[in-house]
């Protein structure tokens, strides 16, 4: 653990800066909890969701667990205030919330002294050594839900085997996406690994009265709308360039550009303007201006399903650069044709399956992206591809029920 302690020490100034940014920017951020100063809390299950993405992944799981256990209590922790905001939006009054303490021994132990809970479940593979050790010392059962480990990440863990192998042995069970993930966890020292699938498949298209309103606002004459979802630095320029080329042949086309991280909202908005596009922001909340825009910047949290719903085609970003891509399940559930870039190693199995079944297509350049967008001008082709995406997603459902059974054991 000496290497981890050294890395944590080196990272402390950067962590402190992030805490300060959160404190200055978000009224709902409680610094004291991050330092381990929790109010006493008793729960039957502690579920950790790092940020918005993990909260979204766990939404259906939380809902089902609360339904199945109306007399039990649930604690949800997040790292970010945007994650906390989503917890409060959907489950205010139904769950308890705390901010995860920093993974310094003193912070973790201070927090856990205030906690009475038999089990900890962590969404995705977020493994904090001091937290896991402290939870084990309290006799808690630890399970990692939606556990995934890409080949690239597994190789990185292997390089630091003296740290990673004891770390992988701490959780009582990993509930893995797929067999390939399970084998990687086992090779790194995990004790008990079960293949249960991905709970993100077990979402349903929500009934949302805002969708037809938004759709009418952005495309009153049924213009072609496509989305670049969860973009990273280095990608936005490519999507804007592709949209500029698309407009030469489809003059009324609309692009919804949704940056992955809130701190980039303003920069992407300005970039779109600098590129000469008529650009509007979701946060301006002026729907009457959307129809006049070429680009809508999706600068909001927790509305991605709504953005997908009003689009004809979904590009799942993080894949035009070596970021590894994001999860394509949400647009697939909404029967949207999916486009991805060359780099999808974060969700390799899911993406390859979707491509194999005809619900997604891979592009490797702006030119190829434009070609696919032009092909998907054909309504019948869009609908056929979208239906294949939905069929693929439905075929992979069932993980939620399996995860709930493990949480009850």
Indicate if the alpha-carbon torsion angle 98, 99, 105, 106 is positive or negative: negative
Q: How far is CA 30 from the centre of its chain?
A: 23
Nearest-angstrom CA–CA distance, 400 and 190: 22
CA distance 47 to 293: 41
Q: Kindly give, in sequence order, each residue whose CB lies less than 8 Å from that of residue 13, ignoring residues fewer than 6 positions away.
A: none
Distances (CA, A) of 315 to 83, 267, 268, 396: 24, 20, 17, 21
Give 5-12's long-range contacts (Cβ < 8 A, gap of 24+): 8/103, 8/104
The three-class DSSP label of residue 149 is coil
Query: What does the alpha-carbon distance between residue 59 and residue 265 come to, in Å, rounded to a whole number?
Result: 25
Residues noted as catalytic: 54
- Which two tokens mark 408? 């009850």
């Amino acid at each position: 653990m000496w290497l981890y302690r050294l890395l944590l020490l080196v990272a402390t100034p950067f962590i402190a800066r992030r805490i300060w940014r959160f404190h200055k920017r978000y009224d709902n951020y409680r610094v004291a909890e991050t330092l381990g100063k929790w109010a006493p809390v008793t729960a039957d299950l502690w579920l950790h969701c790092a940020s918005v993405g993990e909260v979204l992944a766990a939404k259906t799981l939380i809902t089902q667990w609360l339904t199945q256990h109306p007399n039990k209590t649930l604690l949800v922790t997040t790292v970010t205030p945007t994650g906390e905001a989503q917890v409060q939006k959907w489950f205010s009054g139904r769950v308890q919330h705390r901010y995860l303490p920093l993974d310094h021994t003193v912070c973790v132990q201070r927090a856990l002294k205030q906690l009475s809970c038999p089990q900890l479940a962590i969404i995705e593979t977020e493994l904090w050594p001091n937290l896991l050790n402290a939870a084990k010392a309290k006799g808690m059962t630890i399970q990692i839900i939606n556990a995934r480990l890409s080949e690239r990440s597994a190789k990185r863990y292997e390089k630091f085997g003296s740290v990673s192998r004891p770390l992988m042995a701490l959780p009582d069970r990993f509930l893995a996406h797929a067999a390939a993930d399970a084998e990687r966890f086992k090779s790194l020292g995990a004790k008990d690994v079960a293949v249960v699938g991905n709970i993100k498949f077990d979402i349903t298209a929500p009934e949302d009265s805002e969708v037809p309103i938004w759709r009418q606002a952005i495309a009153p004459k049924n213009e072609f709308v496509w989305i670049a979802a969860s973009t990273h630095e280095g990608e936005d320029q490519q999507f804007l360039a592709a949209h500029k080329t698309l407009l030469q042949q489809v003059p009324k086309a609309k692009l919804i550009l949704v940056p992955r991280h809130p701190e980039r909202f303003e920069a992407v908005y300005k970039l779109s303007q600098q590129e000469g596009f008529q650009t509007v922001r979701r946060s301006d909340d002026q729907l009457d201006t959307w129809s006049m825009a070429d680009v809508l910047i999706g600068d909001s949290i927790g509305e991605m399903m709504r953005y997908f719903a009003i689009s004809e085609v979904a590009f799942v970003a993080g894949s035009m650069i070596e970021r590894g891509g994001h999860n394509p399940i949400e647009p697939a559930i909404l029967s949207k044709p999916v486009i991805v870039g060359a780099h999808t190693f974060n969700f390799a199995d899911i993406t390859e399956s979707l491509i194999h079944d005809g619900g997604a297509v891979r592009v490797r350049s702006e030119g190829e992206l434009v070609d696919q967008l032009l092909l998907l001008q054909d309504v019948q082709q869009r609908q056929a591809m979208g239906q294949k995406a939905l069929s693929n997603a439905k075929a992979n459902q069932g993980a939620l029920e399996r995860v709930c059974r493990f949480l009850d054991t």
